[in-house]
């Protein structure tokens, strides 16, 4: 892993070997991994795209929005949850090495390998006897495992390790990218998180004041955020970049609901399709589902990250559920 100064603390595991331990189950069709903590928190990851499709609190409350018509059979990217975008965000530029790839790249459209579970060896032990408080699931995607067509469109040797850590205080998702070849390559990465909210009309987003952003709804024009608390009253598709504050928060009725903390990522996409865009997406259902979700997507997408041969990069997020 890459050692970086001043990175936010990971979810701190505590536990006792004699106490109840987290459980990890592989589905009978080998399509998904489910992890549960002794205190009831759970996460479910589809191996297709390494897509997190469920994350629940200890009381069973779901934190992620998943379309009722999301395709989960590995035939297309999942609508909802946390899809992974790599190595390009949005439609690929015509003058870039990713130009032949589909929108949002190939990571969300390929099956990943489950590498196993683990926990921190340096974590302090719990004196309460409550058992381990975290479980980390690792998933891998490598250039050698890509279909030949994808290899031709982006012929670089790479290795991705995506770590999903479930804790009592939240969910952490981290991506490690390594250039396994000799030729340098450039990439973008994003975690397309669909957060579930009770009512979008009573939801506000904070932590983006004074941040520059590109507004894709307004012909990709440049703006600066002037609102401390952003309300969503129509289609929103903004790429906030060069962010100085690490945390973007989602509030419901003025009360904190989620904190999204970026780690080595400077950009955040804020997205809600609203009425017309939702109606045009066949896998978005119910059609008024936009009233109960908001995408706060951390990433490095406003520019390109370059890796020379043998180099690696790591970045991700910690989402805290504040119910």
| 88, β-bridge pairs | none
**Ligand-binding site membership of 238 (annotated):** no
What pLDDT is recorded for position 204?
A: 98
**What DSSP letter does each residue of 22-51 carry, written as one string?**
-EEEE-TTS-EEEEE-TTS-EEEEETBTTE
Which alpha helices (DSSP H) does 147-197 contain, by range? 148-153
- pTM for the model: 0.91
Region class of 80: left (phi > 0), else alpha (psi between -120 and 50), else beta = left
Contacts of 317 (CB under 8 A, 6+ apart): 172, 173, 174, 191, 193, 260, 261, 262, 263, 265, 298
What pLDDT is recorded for position 6?
A: 58
Are 299 and 267 within 8 A, CB to CB?
yes
**What DSSP letter does each residue of 159-213 carry, written as one string?**
EEEEEEEEESSEEEEEEEEEE-SSS-EEEEEEE--EEE-S-GGGEEEES-TT-EE
User: Is residue 216 packed enough to be buried (19+ CB in 10 Å), middle (13-18) or exposed (0-12)?
Assistant: middle
Distance, CA of 260 to CA of 33 (rounded, Å): 24
Active site residues: 192, 297
* Dihedral sign computed on CA atoms, order 315, 117, 73, 236: negative
What pLDDT is recorded for position 323?
A: 83
Question: ∠ at Cα 230 (64, 297), nearest 5°?
Answer: 40
Distance, CA of 249 to CA of 205 (rounded, Å): 6
Distance, CA of 99 to CA of 91 (rounded, Å): 8
**Ligand-binding site membership of 108 (annotated):** yes
Contacts of 245 (CB under 8 A, 6+ apart): 207, 208, 211
| 161, β-bridge pairs | 140, 176
CA contacts within 13 A on the Cβ side of 132:
20
What pLDDT is recorded for position 203?
A: 98
What pLDDT is recorded for position 124?
A: 31
**What DSSP letter does each residue of 240-288 carry, written as one string?**
E-S--SSEEEEEETTEEEEEEEEES--EEEEEE-HHHHHHT-TT--STT
- The candidate with the shortest Cα–Cα distance to 9, out of 162, 174, 130, 218, is 174
Structure tokens at 114: 């489950």
- The strand pair at 42-46 and 51-56 is best described as antiparallel
Q: Where are the domains of the chain?
A: 33-121+132-321
Q: Which residue has the tokens 């994808």?
A: 150
Per residue of the chain (323 residues), give pLDDT as tens: 556 655 666 665 544 445 788 999 999 999 999 999 999 999 999 999 999 999 999 999 999 999 999 999 999 999 999 999 999 999 999 999 999 999 999 999 999 999 999 865 334 323 233 446 899 999 999 999 999 999 999 999 999 999 999 999 899 999 999 999 999 999 999 999 999 999 999 999 999 999 999 999 999 999 999 999 999 999 999 999 999 999 999 999 999 999 999 999 999 999 999 999 999 999 999 999 999 999 999 999 999 999 999 999 999 999 999 98
Q: Which residue has the tokens 């450039």?
A: 186
**Ligand-binding site membership of 79 (annotated):** yes
Helix or strand or coil: residue 277?
helix
Rg, Å, the chain Cα set: 19
How is residue 202 annotated by DSSP?
G
What pLDDT is recorded for position 15?
A: 46
CATH number of the domain located at residue range(s) 33-121+132-321 in this protein: 2.70.98.10
Helix or strand or coil: residue 107?
helix
């Amino acid at each position: 892993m890459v050692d970086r100064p001043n990175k936010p603390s990971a979810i701190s595991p505590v536990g006792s070997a004699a106490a109840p331990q987290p459980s990890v189950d592989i589905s009978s069709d080998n399509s998904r991994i489910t992890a549960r903590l002794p205190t009831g928190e759970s996460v479910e990851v589809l191996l297709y795209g390494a897509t997190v499709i469920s994350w629940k609190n200890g009381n069973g409350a779901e934190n992620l929005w998943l379309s009722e018509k999301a395709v989960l059979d590995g035939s297309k990217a999942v609508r909802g949850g946390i899809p992974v975008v790599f190595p390009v965000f949005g439609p690929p530029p015509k003058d870039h090495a990713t130009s032949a790839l589909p929108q949002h790249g190939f990571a969300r459209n390929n099956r990943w390998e489950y590498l196993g579970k683990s926990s921190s060896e340096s974590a302090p032990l719990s004196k309460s006897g409550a058992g381990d408080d975290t479980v980390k699931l690792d998933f891998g995607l490598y250039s050698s495992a890509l279909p030949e067509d994808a290899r031709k469109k982006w012929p670089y040797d790479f290795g991705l390790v995506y770590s999903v850590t479930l804790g009592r205080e939240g969910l952490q998702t981290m991506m490690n990218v390594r250039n396994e070849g000799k030729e340098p390559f450039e990439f973008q990465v994003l975690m397309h998180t669909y957060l579930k909210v009770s009512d979008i009309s009573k939801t506000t987003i904070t932590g983006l004041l004074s941040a520059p952003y590109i507004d894709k709804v307004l012909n990709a024009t440049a703006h600066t955020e002037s609102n401390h608390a952003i309300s969503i009253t129509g289609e929103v598709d903004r790429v906030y970049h060069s962010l100085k504050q690490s945390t973007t928060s989602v509030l419901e009725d003025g009360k904190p609901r989620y904190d999204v903390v970026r780690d080595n990522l400077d950009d955040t996409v804020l997205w809600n399709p609203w009425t017309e865009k939702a109606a045009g997406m066949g896998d978005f259902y119910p059609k008024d589902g936009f009233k109960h979700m908001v995408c706060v997507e951390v990433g490095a997408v406003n520019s390109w990250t370059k890796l020379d041969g043998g180099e690696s990069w790591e970045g991700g997020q910690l989402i805290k559920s504040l119910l």
